[in-house]
Chain A
C-alpha cells in the first residue's frame, strides 16, 4: 500500500514538472515576440520593450529562465537588476504587467471567491444528484424516475451563461427577491455571503447535478442488482436498511471518486460562472489576463489549476484505494 502511494505521488510530481515545463515553453517561447505580445495592440516605446525583456529575463537562455521561475515559486527571487530590481518573496509568480501587482497577491484575492463558488455549488450538485438519482433508482419507471432522466438530459444541454443571466433576470430584476450577485467574505457577514452567492451556486450546481443524477441513478441501479443486496434482503432486513446501509453506501463511493476526478472540468465551469456573474475570482482574473495578454497571470493560473487537478487526482486515487477493499493494487 505504501509503495503504491509513493509511486503515485512520484508520478504526480513528474506530471507536474512536465506541465510546468510545457506551460512555460508555451507562454514564453512560442509567441514570436512575447514582449510585443504583452504590449498588445498598444505601441510600446523601445525603452519599455527593453525594460520588459530584461525584467522577464527574456534576454537569457530558456533553461535559465525556467529555473529562475521555478526558483521564484519555491524560495523567491529578485526580478531584474540594478535600480529597477524587485524583491519577490516565495511563492513568487512574477508581477502583473498592467498594474505591477505581484501575481500571488492577485491570486490570493481571487481564491476565496472561487473557492466559495466551488464549495457551495458542489454541495448543491452532490445533494441534488445523489438524492434525485437514488430516489429515481429506488422507484424505477415511476414519475420521479422519468423526471430525473429528463432533468439530467436537460441540465446537460443547458449553458451556465444562459441559465445564469436568466436567473438573475427573474430573481434580481423581475421579482426583486435577491440582491445582485456579489462576494462578501463569510467572515465579515455570512448571510450576505450566502445571499450574494446563491444564484451562482444554483446555476453551476444545477447544471452539474444533471451529470451526477444520471451517474448515481445508474450506480444505484447496478448496486441494487448485486448479490449481496439480495442476500441482505433475504436475511430479513427492512427495505430501508438494505437500501441505505448496504446499497447506497456502495453506490456512493465511485460517485465521490468521479466528483474528485472531474474537478478539472468543473474549474472551467467556475471560470464561466465568475464571468457570468461578474465575480472577481481567479478564473475571472485569468480571463481578463488572457484578453490583456498579461502572461505572468495566465501562466500562474494555468499552473495553479493544473497543480490542483493533479493533487486532487492523487488524493482521490489514494482515498479510493483505502476505502474500497475491491481495488487491487498492482
Chain B
C-alpha cells in the first residue's frame, strides 16, 4: 500500500514531498522497543494462527479441497475415468450398483474395467468419485466468486455510506434494512428462474438456458443479495474510524475523499472483512447446495454436490443405496466445517484483545 504515485491522481496535492507514509496506520505499533522485535498486528495474528492447532488442520484441509477443485481435470486424467460416462453394466436389474456399499470397488475386475473408489450412481452408473471432484469445483467456484463480489460490493457501499453520512447514509441504511427484510432464500429461489428466462432466448423458455449461464445466474443472485451484512459491518467500523486523528490529518493535508476512503480507511478494515469473508464462503456453499438440492440451482449435467445429494435422497426409501447420499453428504460437511473452523480461528487470531 505504499505506492505514492497514483494516490494523488486528482492533482489536489501540491507537491510530492508530502509523503503519506507516516499517516498510515496499517502497520501500527512501530518498533518502539529497541531490544524487542516489533511486530505488526498482521504478523501477530499470523503467529497466533500458526499456534492454533485447529486453524492449522482446517487450513490444510481447505488447501486440499481447493487443490482438488482446481486440479479436477488433472485428477480426472490420473484417475482415468470421467464424471459423465454412464454404464448400466455396473448395475443390477433394478438399477442399483452391484457389489457392496454403493458399488465401491478398488479392483478393475468389473464391467467398466476401472476402480470406483466412491461407488457408482444408481440408475445411471456414473462414477461418484469424479462427480464429487467436479461438484466441488462447481461449489467452490460459485461460492468464492459470489462471496468475493458481494464482499467488494459490501465494502464499497459500507465505506461510502459511513464516510459521507447524512442523506447518503440514511438512504443506504434503509436499503440495507429493506433488503434484509426480504426472505433471502425464498427470494433467491424465485428470482433465479426469472433471471434464467431473461438470459435465455427472448421467447422466454427457461428450458434452453445453458448450464454455464445457470451457474452465472446463481453467482449474480448470491452477489446481489449477499452484500448487506458486510456493508453493515464496514459501515459500523468506518463510523468509529473516521473520527481518528490520522483521517483528520489526511484531510488537512488536502487528500481527496477517494484517497482517504480507500487508502487510509480500508487498510484498517481488512481484519473484520477477512473474517466475514471466510465465514460467508461456507454459508454460500450451503445455500448453493440447498438450491441445487431443490432442483433450482445447478442442474444436469453440471456436477454439483447438492444435486448429487438430491438424487441420492431418492435412494434412501427402503434403503437400497444410502451411500450415494452419505458420501457427498460427508464431503460437503467436512468442506463447510473446515471453512467454519478456519473462519472462527481467524476471528480469534485477529482479535487484538485475545492474548494467548
By a beta-carbon cutoff of 8 Å, the part of chain A in contact with chain B is 15, 18-19, 26-27, 30-34, 36-37, 40-41, 153-154, 156-162, 164-166, 168-169, 173-174, 264-265, 267-268, 271-272, 275-276, 283, 286-287, 290-291, 293, 298, 301-302, 305-306, 308-310, 313
Contact = CB atoms under 8 A, between A and B. Distances in A.
Contact of B296 (A165, A287, A313): A287
Contacts of A313: 181
B310 interface: yes
B315 to A, nearest CB: 9
B183 A40 contact: no
Nearest to B208: A41
Given A18-B178, A162-B329, A287 B294 contact: yes
Contacts of B119: none
Given A15-B178, A309-B183, 12 more contacts: A32-B202, A37-B194, A157-B336, A161-B313, A264-B181, A264-B183, A268-B183, A271-B294, A276-B313, A286-B190, A287-B189, A306-B182
Interface residues of B, number: 52
Contact of A19 (B181, B185, B203, B332): B181
Given A159-B329, A162-B329, A165-B325, A267 B189 contact: no
Contact of B194 (A26, A154, A164, A268): A26
B348 interface: no
Given A41-B206, A174-B319, A153 B337 contact: yes
Given A159-B332, A268-B184, A173 B294 contact: no
Interface stretch (B20-28, B129-137, B230-238, B282-290): B282-290
Interface string B322-356: 10011001001100110011001000000000000
A308 B182 CA distance: 10
Contact of A272 (B184, B203, B294, B333): B294
A283 B180 CA distance: 19
Contacts of B3: none
Contacts of B207: 40-41
Given A153-B341, A287-B294, A267 B310 contact: no
16 contacts: A30-B194, A34-B204, A154-B337, A157-B333, A159-B332, A165-B325, A173-B317, A268-B183, A268-B184, A271-B186, A287-B295, A290-B192, A293-B197, A298-B190, A302-B183, A306-B183
Contacts of A18: 178
A58 B194 CA distance: 17
Nearest to A16: B181
Given A287-B189, A291-B296, A168 B337 contact: no
A302 B185 CA distance: 10
Given A19-B181, A161-B309, A287-B296, A32 B204 contact: yes
Contacts of A267: 183, 185-186
A275 B310 CA distance: 10
B204 A37 contact: yes
Contact of B309 (A34, A162, A286): A162
Contacts of A169: 316, 319, 322
A305 B182 CA distance: 8
Contacts of A293: 193, 197, 206
B189 A290 contact: yes
Contacts of B294: 271-272, 275, 287
Contact of A166 (B181, B183, B290, B329): B329
A302 B186 contact: yes
A30 B204 CA distance: 11
Residue in B180, B183, B206, B329 with the greatest tally of chain A CB atoms within 10 Å: B183
